[in-house]
């Protein structure tokens, strides 16, 4: 049986590493609606798995039968890179052995402030006490710890337990938290809904500015970093938000090739891109599966000692 015949006769399960309603879910459902357009007779259903900080979803993919009928659309930073770098408890998968198809929807992380918080500039935040950071994933915790360290904040706190960006955004809008480190695309959504000010984000969590907010400085432009802090920022900047389409290890190569061709055809359709831009107005260039595998290998090779100091700060800030 050829791959075309196989996928025409079988439904694909697309694991989406988020709850229904968010941007990750939007892209997954967009892919499912387009699958029959690129695979004659094909069908795809979306399976939302958000438990366990997205690790349950990735563990499910890792254990899936390698027949090519289980795929995932995952947050590159939250589902793959950050849990691996931090050696997060519960990770059962090896990101260097997964099969990557495409990496898209790049959105660098930003440091953002609530409309309810009494701060007008980065200078206002230096040495403040009791700043509350909303966080739902490892990379936001590390980002918060980095901000607290470089600005000399005192008794900064992590407010945890959010299922994702929607709940975290509500906490900012209600003034229950003061700031966070989420993606540029999420920041745009929160600005539109009034959760953060139009004068924020205060900084891009990187050494370069975000294409989404070209007038907002990079963190390295507004603070003087120690060598250790600069190294932390290099790690944090690698956690920019992306959406990765992937398969579990062991899928036959002819089916991998077929899925790759179908997904790339889908993502290059003008009508698909137009729909995607409803959520990501800045629609970045794609990376191939081979290119993303190199990113995964580089992340897996980062020794835990490089961020040990940052993780200690996370512990101090955690409830």
Asked if residue 296 lies in contact with residue 95, where contact means CB atoms within 8 angstroms, the answer is yes
> Per-residue pLDDT for 127 more than 70?
yes
Residues 92 and 123 in one domain: no
Q: Which residues form the domain of 286?
A: 3-106+241-303
How far apart are alpha carbons 54 and 28 in whole angstroms? Answer: 15
Same-domain status, 151 and 233: yes
Q: What is the pLDDT of residue 201?
A: 58
Mean pLDDT of the chain: 91
User: Are residue 250 and residue 233 in the same domain, yes or no?
Assistant: no
Q: How far apart are CA 225 and CA 96, in angstroms?
A: 31
**Which pLDDT score is estimated for 52?**
58
Q: Which helix (H) or strand (E) holds 31?
A: helix 23-38
pLDDT band at 62 (very low <50, low <70, confident <90, very high): very high
Q: Positive or negative CA dihedral for 75, 286, 12, 1?
A: negative
Residue 47 placed within a domain = yes
Quickly state the pLDDT bin for 75 (edges 50, 70, 90). Answer: confident
- Split into its structural domains, the chain has a count of 2
| Whether residue 102 is found in the same domain as residue 194 | no
Helix (H/G/I), strand (E/B), else coil: 130: coil
CATH number for 149: 3.40.190.10
Is residue 27 predicted with pLDDT exceeding 90? yes
Looking at the structure, tell me whether residues 205 and 128 fall in a common domain: yes
**pTM across the whole model:** 0.87
Buried b (16+ CB within 10 A) or exposed e, 254-283: ebbebbbebbbebbeeeebeeebeebbebe
Residue 198: pLDDT band with limits 50, 70, 90: low
pLDDT tens, position by position, 249-290 = 999 999 999 999 999 999 999 999 999 999 899 998 999 999
For residue 66, what is the domain's CATH number? 3.40.190.150
- Do 227 and 113 lie in one domain? The reply is yes
Q: Is 127 in the same domain as 206?
A: yes
Is 78 in the same domain as 157?
no
Give the pLDDT confidence of 214-261 residue by residue, as tens digits.
999 999 999 999 999 999 999 888 888 899 999 999 999 999 999 999
For residue 51, being part of any structural domain is answered with: yes
Q: Are residues 27 and 129 in the same domain?
A: no
């Amino acid at each position: 049986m050829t791959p075309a015949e196989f996928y025409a006769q079988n439904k694909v399960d697309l694991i989406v590493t988020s709850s229904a309603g968010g941007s990750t879910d939007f892209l997954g459902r967009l892919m499912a609606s387009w699958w029959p357009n690129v695979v004659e007779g094909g069908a795809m259903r979306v399976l939302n798995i958000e438990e366990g900080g997205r690790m349950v979803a990735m563990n499910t993919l890792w254990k899936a039968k390698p027949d090519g009928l289980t795929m995932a659309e995952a947050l590159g930073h939250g589902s793959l890179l950050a849990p691996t770098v931090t050696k997060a408890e519960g990770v059962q998968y090896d990101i260097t052995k997964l099969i990557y198809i495409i990496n898209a929807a790049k959105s660098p992380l930003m440091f953002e402030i609530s409309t309810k918080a009494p701060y007008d500039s980065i200078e206002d935040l230096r040495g403040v006490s009791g700043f509350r950071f909303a966080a739902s994933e490892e990379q936001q915790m590390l980002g918060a710890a980095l901000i607290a360290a470089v600005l000399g904040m005192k008794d900064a706190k992590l407010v945890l337990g959010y299922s994702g960006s929607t709940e975290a955004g509500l906490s900012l809008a209600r003034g229950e938290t003061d700031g966070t480190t989420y993606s540029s695309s999420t920041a745009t959504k929160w600005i539109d809904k009034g959760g953060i000010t139009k004068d924020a984000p205060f900084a891009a969590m990187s050494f370069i500015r975000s294409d989404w907010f070209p007038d907002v400085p990079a963190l390295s432009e507004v603070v003087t970093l120690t060598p250790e802090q600069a190294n932390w920022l290099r790690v944090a900047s690698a956690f920019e938000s992306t959406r990765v389409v992937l398969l579990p290890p062991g899928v036959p190569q002819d089916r991998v090739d077929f899925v790759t061709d179908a997904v790339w055809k889908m993502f290059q359709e003008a009508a698909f891109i137009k729909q995607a831009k409803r959520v990501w107005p800045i629609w970045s260039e794609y990376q191939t599966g081979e290119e993303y595998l190199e990113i995964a290998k580089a992340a897996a090779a980062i020794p835990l000692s490089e961020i040990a100091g940052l993780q200690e700060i996370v512990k101090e800030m955690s409830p």
